[in-house]
Amino acid sequence: MTIYVDSQYPLMPHYSKLKSLINRICIETDINVSGISQRDARIWSIYNTRRHLNTLKQILLAVSKKKRPSPLKILNASGASSGHQDFSLSACLEYLDISYEYHCIESPSSKYINNEYFLTSASHHKISFFWHDYSSGSTPKLPYNNYDIVLFTEIAEHLCHTSFLDSLAFIHSCQNPGGSLFLTTPNLLSIQNRIKLFFGSTSGIYWGDGTLNRQQNSYGHISLYSADRLTRILQDTGFTNIIARTTNYGLPPYSLSNFYKPFVLNLLKPLSWIVHGSGSSIELSAHNTNDFVRINLET
């Protein structure tokens, strides 16, 4: 199977199949683990499928850089949550016949880890867990430090800055010399946030930051970053070959009322193309090698 991976867009013969596979897993997982309705699961799947496809592209780039035909070692350092990201990505690798070892750091207090569907899916996709809570103020202790790619997706916004810096230092220490980091987080300077800040409001930008959240160790969006600030922080941590961009997965279903959502989506998306660095999400990759512009991957 030949897979073309470009630094900007994945050019894969099986793109439609992979997209359909991810979409189905997202819907099934949200229904059976998150417990939301089928309608809401389908709405969420549009947003999450776009996000997971972009993560898959980064994983395939990591595959292409391996010097020897050993299993790809993946660490999701951001937690499984309901599991649809990890289940989707591992299913795609299985479909592409790419050998992998998939490890995930998850909080022992996660409300999903005793769910039967979650446990069955994790076992089916050969996902191993290390239990750790970032809010404890310590970094995880892992038996491995040779990961080809570490995922840190949609968690930076939930961490205090000290925990975030500690997490980046930990990730840097457990990568292969040629390993990669892929980080995603909401963009502080998204076009919708710029409009809100212009009118003097932070409504919907920061949330879940109260005393009860602290007591439950369950913060919402308490720390937001811009692409240039994240780049500077990663450089300071020791990462190299950093590529940061903003993109639009679409607005999450909770962000707007159903009445205004289609109008705002249609209005803001073209604006984010015009205004530099104003997409709704930041995608940042850090590669410890220079040969990632365009690769012909044979498996």
DSSP string covering 239-288? --SEEEEEE-----GGGS-TTTHHHHHHHHHHHHHHSTT-SSEEEEEEES
Give the pLDDT of residue 295.
33
Q: How confident is the model at residue 293 (pLDDT cuts 50, 70, 90)?
A: very low
* Residues with Cβ within 8 Å of residue 196, at least 6 apart in sequence: 202, 203, 204, 205
Give the pLDDT of residue 13.
73
pLDDT of 135 strictly over 90: no
Judged by average pLDDT, the poorest of 41-45, 71-75, 268-272 is 268-272
Q: How confident is the model at residue 264 (pLDDT cuts 50, 70, 90)?
A: low
Closest CA relative to residue 54, chosen from 153, 178, 172:
153
Q: How many CA atoms lie within 13 A of 137 on its CB side?
A: 0
- DSSP character at residue 31: I
pLDDT of 184 strictly over 90: yes
Q: Which helix (H) or strand (E) holds 30?
A: none
Residues paired with residue 73 on neighbouring β-strands, in sequence order: 101
59-106 residue pLDDT tens:
998 888 776 678 999 999 999 999 999 999 999 999 999 999 999 999
pLDDT of 251 strictly over 90: no
At 141, which amino acid appears?
A: K
Residues paired with residue 187 on neighbouring β-strands, in sequence order: 225
Say if residues 147 and 75 touch (Cβ distance below 8 Å): yes
25-40 residue pLDDT tens:
999 999 999 999 999 9
Secondary structure of residue 155 in the 3-state scheme: coil
Q: How many CB atoms lie within 10 A of CB 274?
A: 8
For residues 154-163, give the mean pLDDT: 94
Q: Which helix (H) or strand (E) holds 33?
A: none
Say if residues 18 and 53 touch (Cβ distance below 8 Å): yes
- pTM value? 0.88
Mean model confidence pLDDT for the chain: 86
Q: How many CB atoms lie within 10 A of CB 6?
A: 13
Residue showing tokens 């799947």? 45
21: left (phi over 0), alpha (psi -120 to 50) or beta: alpha
Judged by average pLDDT, the poorest of 102-111, 113-122, 125-134, 210-219 is 210-219
Q: How confident is the model at residue 290 (pLDDT cuts 50, 70, 90)?
A: very low
Which domains can be identified in the chain, with CATH numbers? 2-298 (3.40.50.150)
Tokens of 46: 């549009």
Give the pLDDT of residue 5.
42
